[in-house]
A = this chain, B = another copy of it.
Amino acid sequence: MQQVSDASRSPGYDPAPTNSRALIVDSIRSAGTVSRVELTQITGLTAPSVTTLVRRLIDDGLVDEAGRGSSTGGKPRTMLRIRAAARYVVGVHLSADSLTYVLVDYAGAVVARWRRAGPGDDSDPEQVVERIAAETTELIERSGVDPSLVLGLGFVCPGPLIRNRGVTSAPPSMTHWVGFPIHRRLEERLGLPALLENDATAAAAGTRLTTSHDVSVMAALFMSEGIGSGLRLNGNVYQGAHGNAGEVGHICVQIGGPQCWCGSTGCLEAIAGPATVVAKARAAGLDLGSPRRTGVAAFAAIARLALTGDSRAEAILRDSASWLALGAQTITNMYDVQLLVLTGPAFAVAGTIYLPIIQERILSSAFGRAVNTEVVLDERGHDAAAIGAALMMLRSDLAISA
């Protein structure tokens, strides 16, 4: 049980691994395949240190040699890569209308994925724990992965939470979750360490960096049922004092604006979040399929309409995007990032509408111009949070012990 709490501790920002072993593993993982010489450059360690650390990792079965590079006039480089089958982690993303599972291997690749209907609005937390535990077990079983190689589970849910204590406040659909220590219950039920994280923060951890240049400071703008953001610094997420950093959905963007479920008024989420977009679309008489369709499913229906030429749907989304752009600008102003990634289920379905509007505002703002902040769309938006939670587990100390 000692180990269990270890993974989810870490008050505030977790500095870059002082642990060279973790540093090497991270470097190999994010590079794909690298040679030892390259590792000396990436990590700043000396060649002998790299040799020693890599040897131990190979002995422990965490890293493999993977053929040779071509010679550049001398001995060719021996390439290294993560032994993908060494360990696995599970990532789970819960929201009212969907429940996403991913199984991620030690190299960080998704080897299994499962999306199911969410527990709905009035679910009993204890029953949901049961269900998640059962489905997690089933996921592992069906994937054919040896369960003893599964290190732990990263669990993600929307909204503010207090690390190690559970959800502290929640959107209307999940109020009965407040104060329920779901990750602890999952730990007990599954016998695996579990980590609890905010959806947006996890998404920041899960975003693959596909930019050419080196990005050490990036943020994710996450939209699912709500709106949030996460900040990633050199691969570590910034969580704030209580694990609630990045609550961009509840900054006030309009004095005297509409009431938000959070108790405040004029929140970005209340004005331009998916729930509001859906309400506006319904009010405008758009056909979103079944009237029982809610949350991201309903939002996706609007996006489909907009993308197939419905100008009313498009106008509603473009209006939402102009507000989201404000949030994005706040993120870049406050965090000063090199890269902002739009991610989460809502951007997965409507990102192409939001992206140019957000980009334009960022690039035309004074600081955007001065420093050239890039804004991109995550191609794995749907699963970003679940993947991120899994990756956070994969980067915990647990994951590098022999």
A interface, CB within 8 angstroms of B: 11-13, 15-16, 18, 160, 162, 168-169, 216-217, 229, 233-234, 239-248, 250-255, 262-264, 322, 326, 329-331, 333-338, 364-367, 369-371
Contact = CB atoms under 8 A, between A and B. Distances in A.
A240 B217 CA distance: 7
A334 B168 contact: no
A251 B12 contact: no
B12 A216 contact: yes
A331 B250 CA distance: 11
A251 B247 CA distance: 15
Nearest to A233: B13
B15 A333 contact: no
Contacts of A169: 366-367, 370
Contacts of A369: 263
A296 to B, nearest CB: 23
Contacts of A370: 160, 162, 168-169, 242, 244
Contacts of A12: 216-217, 233-234
Contacts of A241: 216-217, 336-338, 371
A263 B365 CA distance: 7
Contacts of A16: 15
Please tell me how many copies of the chain the complex holds. 2
Given A162-B370, A371-B162, A250 B336 contact: no
A111 to B, nearest CB: 33
Given A16-B15, A160-B370, A371-B244, A254 B255 contact: yes
**Contact residues of A: prevailing secondary structure:** loop
B366 A248 contact: no
B367 A247 contact: yes
A267 to B, nearest CB: 9
A94 B29 CA distance: 46
B333 A247 contact: yes
Nearest to A365: B264
Nearest to A260: B366
B251 A329 contact: yes
A172 B287 CA distance: 52
Given A242-B336, A251-B329, 5 more contacts: A162-B371, A245-B336, A248-B334, A254-B254, A263-B366
A165 to B, nearest CB: 11
A239 to B, nearest CB: 7
A287 to B, nearest CB: 30
Nearest to A247: B333
Contact of A334 (B160, B252, B263, B335): B335
A240 B336 contact: yes
Nearest to A178: B370
A252 to B, nearest CB: 5
